[in-house]
A = this chain, B = another copy of it.
Amino acid sequence: MSMDEIREECGVFGIYSHPEAASLSYFGLHALQHRGQEGAGIAVADGCTIRCHKGRGLLTDAFQPGDLKNLPGCNAIGHVRYGTNGGDEIENVQPMVARAAIGSIAVVHNGQIVNAPELREKLENHGSIFRGTSDSEIILHMIQRRKGPLLDKIREACSLLDGAFSFLLLTEKNLYAIRDKNGLRPLSLGKLGESWCLSSETCAFEAVGASFIRDIEPGEIVKISHKGVESCYYAEIRRHRLCAMEYVYFSRPDSDLEGQNVHSVRKKTGMLLAEKDSGRLDADMVVGVPDSSLSAAMGYSEKSGLPYEMGLIKNRYVGRTFIEPTQKLRDTGVKMKLSANSTVVKGKRLILLDDSIVRGTTSRHIIRLLRDAGAKEVHLRIASPAFRYPCFYGVDMSTRQELISSSMDTEALCSFLGADSLRFLEVDDLKKAYGGHGFCFACFDGNYVTQIYSYLEKLK
């Protein structure tokens, strides 16, 4: 819940060799809609031409019945977009298509290129012009600038990109999938009959009836053509450093990342929090902030034996064009997104599970909501460690000032939030819960997995 307004994640989906490529992209993107609601688009190649349709807002805003029929072809890539940075928004909506005499390329990408400003400056100095502010445009330029076969161009270009990214490239005939060498952003390969799928999250495979094959490896380039799937690497040094936020907040509970189910991992974090509290805390019930913190709350309840209750209700009908309450009405108690279930929480001692704390304002608001509804005690438990360091890999919190945990210790924060007690998950417990491969915990421990380049200056 807390991350709602600061994230900048996207979702990509691709399909190769299916007669209904546009429709399946649509339904695949639909399962990824939680990764971006600011724009959506699909590009389809029919062997000769790339056609593209895109628009602002949800998939249902961007596509009208009939639009899919104008996208014939068997290979497709699609995108759902988060974030509204940039002035002329429509220029930044993906897929982005470069049209050239020797052939066109469409690209969709998820993540952030850390050395984008440096690369862009260099490109501009050599005469490249940019129509938007998106990293996708840089990728296109980096590739098109090189010479030789496309695969070589991609390999060479990628070796110069630093950051967290997954992207799909569509040509008139082939489809390419690339993941950054630290594996910060997820990307998986699936199969649907004789067709191949690619998706930011595996939940989209389930949605289109495809089965999961494997994750794209860090630093890998997968090329899908009529010869099938071929693979190569563009980087020597490759590591598994999946962004921890994918588990904490971004992904859907029914997705598997690096072989682990998101819901199950989140549940484990709740259990670990319960273990720490064991024998030290008397409470009546466990309440999760919907929707991202419900799994952790289930875990806490299961481990602690305390009842799991629906103490907070999220209104499902909050859309983009909603008429918002004025500040005046908000002050008198009008609320739109979240309600407390008063009868349930009244007079009760609550363990409240939330996924994370960024600025602290949302958590404070929720605790206030529960107290107004009569909750006797609110013990806040956060299913991730304290955010102390800014992220440069796809979360819009570039300056340290906004992170309340970088300026307040837990005690001060607990008092600021109005909670009776506050506990974060320890980084060690997080590692225990996540298990498996390594992760990027930079926002918790400041150990960035790439160089930071000019971003560092913004921090000062």
Contact = CB atoms under 8 A, between A and B. Distances in A.
A91 to B, nearest CB: 7
A332 B193 CA distance: 9
A283 to B, nearest CB: 15
A30 interface: yes
A319 interface: yes
B129 A101 contact: no
B20 A329 contact: yes
B207 A334 contact: yes
Contacts of A433: none
Contacts of A203: 313, 339
A50 interface: yes
Nearest to A27: B334
A79 interface: no
Contact of A33 (B141, B260, B315): B315
Contacts of A140: 129
Interface residues of A, number: 98
A305 to B, nearest CB: 9
Interface string A321-352: 11101100100111110011111100000000
A340 B209 contact: no
A207 B206 CA distance: 36
A127 interface: yes
Interface of A: 20, 23-24, 26-27, 30-31, 33-34, 49-54, 58-60, 63-65, 68, 87-88, 90-91, 96-102, 120-121, 124, 126-133, 140-141, 144-145, 192-193, 203, 206-210, 252-254, 256, 260-261, 263-264, 267, 291, 294-295, 298, 301-302, 307-310, 313, 315-317, 319, 321-323, 325-326, 329, 332-336, 339-344, 373
Given A60-B319, A254-B310, A298-B310, 5 more contacts: A64-B321, A98-B130, A128-B128, A263-B309, A291-B316
